Amino acid sequence: MSAGMAKTLATIHKVITRGVEVTRSRSQSFAEQGLPDEALWSGFVSYARTFVNLTHAHHDGEEVLIFPFGQQKMPDTSFDSLIAEHQQIAALLDEMGAAIDDAEKNPATESLSRISRLATQISEIWRPHIREEETIFSAARVNAVVTPEEQGKLMQQASQHGMQHAGPDYLAAPFILHNLEPEDRAHMAGEMPPIVSQELVPIVWKDQWAPMKPFLLP
């Protein structure tokens, strides 16, 4: 049985928190110091795009699965402000997606600065947003009203939902695992089908996500 939904939620938040920070800092340094070579550039485009897709998918999964579940188990909790923040972040993510498309066609300082600025704006909403979410779904609150079995089932559904909406698996799965330090990575690997972390990511998909490696943890 998994370690519970509080831990899984906090861990996926760590992936996205690192994702927005790496996207911000690298786009800023490319804008300031000049464009990288083609391989590093295509790796950055894949990384930033996967960040956008995964964050959209995470919010969608919360609105479709996690929040309705939370509402049912903790009827006094309001999710309205969290949903409003998702909408604000979604608009910024869409702008970022367009800026990434522009930058891919025509790598110019202007679109890189735009990506960096949007990442900063996303981060400003994101940080208090996840604090609020992790307070609502703290282990103590969740464990008081949800059995470990129910938590495991919900997290499995959320993980499936996420993988269906986060863009190509061969980018999303390594993005999740390798934006985490080893202990958290082991936890998330345990939430995925074993074949994903044991065979697909390290062997079958290895070359497809290799260009993102300079932006990921070893």
Give the shortest CB-16-to-Fe ion separation in angstroms: 8
Give the shortest CB-82-to-Fe ion separation in angstroms: 5
Of 5 and 103, which CB lies nearer to Fe ion in the complex structure? 5
Give the shortest CB-169-to-Fe ion separation in angstroms: 21
Q: What is the CB neighbour count within 10 angstroms for residue 132? A: 13
Of 134 and 150, which CB lies nearer to Fe ion in the complex structure? 134
Angle at 116 between CA 111 and CA 122, to 5 degrees: 125
Give the shortest CB-121-to-Fe ion separation in angstroms: 16
For residue 153 the two structure tokens come to: 């089932």
Residue range at the interface with Fe ion (CB under 5 A); choices 59-67, 102-110, 183-191, 193-201: 59-67
Label residue 81 exposed, middle or buried (CB < 10 Å: 0-12, 13-18, 19+).
Answer: exposed
61 within 8 A of 158, measured Cβ to Cβ: yes
Whose CA is closest to 112, among 54, 213, 41, 215? Answer: 41
- What character string, x for contact with Fe ion (CB under 5 A) and - otherwise, covers 87-106? --------------------
Give the shortest CB-129-to-Fe ion separation in angstroms: 6
Number of residues that bind Fe ion (CB under 5 A): 2
Give the shortest CB-26-to-Fe ion separation in angstroms: 23
Of 31 and 119, which CB lies nearer to Fe ion in the complex structure? 119
Q: At what angle do helices 109-136 and 80-105 cross, to 10 degrees?
A: 160
DSSP letter at 196? I
Window 104-133: residues binding Fe ion (CB under 5 A): 133
DSSP letter at 59? H
Window 131-150: residues binding Fe ion (CB under 5 A): 133
47 within 8 A of 149, measured Cβ to Cβ: no
Q: What is the CB neighbour count within 10 angstroms for residue 150? A: 14
Residue range at the interface with Fe ion (CB under 5 A); choices 20-28, 56-64, 111-119, 154-162: 56-64
Of 31 and 158, which CB lies nearer to Fe ion in the complex structure? 158
Whose CA is closest to 118, among 144, 148, 90, 95? Answer: 95
Residue range at the interface with Fe ion (CB under 5 A); choices 24-32, 34-42, 60-68, 171-179: 60-68
Give contact residues for Fe ion (rule: CB under 5 A): 62, 133
